[in-house]
Amino acid sequence: MRKDSLTSKNNFMARRAFLQKASAAGLLMSAPLVNSSALDIDRPCIPLALDAEHLSTKKSVLSYNNYYEFTTNKKMVRHLVNDFDVTNWTLNIGGLVEQPLSFNLQQILSLPSCSRTYRFRCIEGWSAVIPWNGIELRRILDLVKPLSSARYLKFKSAYRPEQMPGQRTKILTWPYTECLRLDEAYHPLVLLATGMYDDALPKQNGYPIRLVVPWKYGFKNIKAITSIKLVESKPLGSWQKAVPSEYGFFGNVNPNLAHPRWSQRRELPLGASKKVRTHFLNGYAKHVASLYSDQDLKTL
Ligand SMILES: Nc1nc2c(c(=O)[nH]1)N[C@H]1C(S)=C(S)[C@@H](COP(=O)(O)O)O[C@H]1N2
Ligand SMILES: [Mo]
C-alpha cells in the first residue's frame, strides 16, 4: 500500500499547520507535553474498507483476558484490576526521534479517535472480533519524527508490582515489552487503542492505551503502554525472551505455521462452540502481505 495514496493533501497541510503553530507556541520544544486540543485538527484514521464481521459480545471480551501482570487465570483478570490505580500515568515517546513527546492521562484520553472493527487471534487458539476506538500509530510517529537511524519500536507496559500481583512472580520478565519494525508501525491498520465498543478501554483490556496490530497474534498487542522507544537494533519482546521456541519477533498469524505444541489452522471464537478456520495474516493479507518477504512469513 502506498503511503501517498493514503494521506490526503489537505490532511498533510493541516498537520503541517499544526506543527508550525505548535512549535511557534513552544509546545514541541524540550519538555513537550502535547497540546491535545491541537491534535483535534488532525484526522486520527483514514477510512478503510474492511470486511464486516460478527462482533464478539462486549461481555465476552471483558471477562476472558490475558494479562499476566495480574494473573494467568483469564477469568480472574477483571477482578484483580480493581485496585490498579491509573490516575498517575505518563506515556513517553522517545529514543531516535527528532521530537520526543510525553502524554499525561488526560492527554491520552483526549487523543482524537476513530472506530475500527478487527479480528483478534490469540496464539493459544481463541479469537474475537472487537470494535476498537483509537488513533493510527503513524499519526503519533508523524509528530515525533523518527530519525533515519530508527528501525524498530520498543513498547513497554507499566511496572507497578505493588498493584499488579503477577509482577511479584517470575512468570515473565517485567515490565512486559513488545516490538515492531518501523515499517510495520507505519501501516495504517496499526492502532493505539484508547477505547472499545465506543466506550473507555476497560482496565483488563489495557487502559489507558494499548497497541492493536490485527494481523499479529494477541501477545504483540501490548496493554497499558508507558513508553515507546525508537531504536536501531531489533528488540526482544517479553515472550520471545521467555520462550524463543514458541514466540518470534513477528508473531504474524499464520495457519500454515504450527505452534510447536499445537496446530494453528483453526480457532475458537469467544462464545462459540465450534472452531472456525484461521486466516493467513488473520484475514488482512491483502492489506499487509507486501510488508513481508517470503522468508519473513516462514518465521514466527
Ligand atoms: N501488558 C500486557 N499486555 C498483553 C498481555 C499481557 O500479559 N500483559 N497479554 C497479551 C496476550 S497473550 C493477549 S492474547 C492479549 C489479550 O488481550 P485482551 O485481554 O484484551 O483480549 O493481550 C496481550 N497484551
Ligand atoms: Mo495471547
Q: Which atom of ligand 1 is nearest to the CA of 175?
A: 1
Query: Which position has the higher pLDDT, 70 or 20?
Result: 70
- Mean pLDDT for 182-197 is 98
Please give the distance, rounded to the nearest whole angstrom, from the Cα atom of residue 66 to the centre of ligand 1.
5
Please give the distance, rounded to the nearest whole angstrom, from the Cα atom of residue 20 to the centre of ligand 1.
38
Q: Which three cell numbers stand for residue 201?
A: 478501554
- Mean pLDDT for 164-183 is 97
Please give the distance, rounded to the nearest whole angstrom, from the Cα atom of residue 124 to the centre of ligand 2.
6
- Band (8; pLDDT cuts 50, 70, 90): very low
- Band (34; pLDDT cuts 50, 70, 90): low
Of the listed ranges 33-37, 196-200, 250-254, the one predicted with least confidence:
33-37
Please give the distance, rounded to the nearest whole angstrom, from the Cα atom of residue 2 to the centre of ligand 1.
31
Q: Which atom of ligand 1 is nearest to the CA of 205?
A: 20
Q: Is the pLDDT of residue 41 over 90?
A: no
Q: Is the pLDDT of residue 10 over 50?
A: no
Cα–Cα distance for residue pair 112/42, rounded to 1 Å: 8
| pLDDT tens, residue by residue, 213-254 | 999 999 999 999 999 999 999 999 999 999 999 999 999 999
Please give the distance, rounded to the nearest whole angstrom, from the Cα atom of residue 118 to the centre of ligand 1.
15
Of the listed ranges 11-20, 214-223, 261-270, the one predicted with least confidence:
11-20
Ligand 1 pocket mutation, candidates 221, 222, 228, 267, criterion most atoms within 8 A of CB: 221
> Which residues contact ligand 1 via a Cβ below 6 A?
65-69, 122, 157, 176, 205-206, 218-219, 221-224
- Mean pLDDT for 29-40 is 48
Ligand 1, atom 21: nearest CA belongs to which residue? 65
Which ligand approaches the C-alpha of residue 67 most closely? 1
Q: Give me the residues near ligand 2 (ion), CB cutoff below 5 Å.
A: 66, 122, 218-219
- Band (170; pLDDT cuts 50, 70, 90): very high
Ligand 1, atom 12: nearest CA belongs to which residue? 219
Using a cut of 0.75, tell me whether the model's pTM lies above it.
yes
Q: Is the pLDDT of residue 26 over 70?
A: no
- Mean pLDDT for 188-215 is 98
Please give the distance, rounded to the nearest whole angstrom, from the Cα atom of residue 220 to the centre of ligand 2.
8
Ligand 1, atom 5: nearest CA belongs to which residue? 67
Q: Is the pLDDT of residue 28 over 50?
A: no
Of the listed ranges 30-34, 59-63, 80-84, 123-127, the one predicted with least confidence:
30-34
Q: Which atom of ligand 1 is nearest to the CA of 157?
A: 1
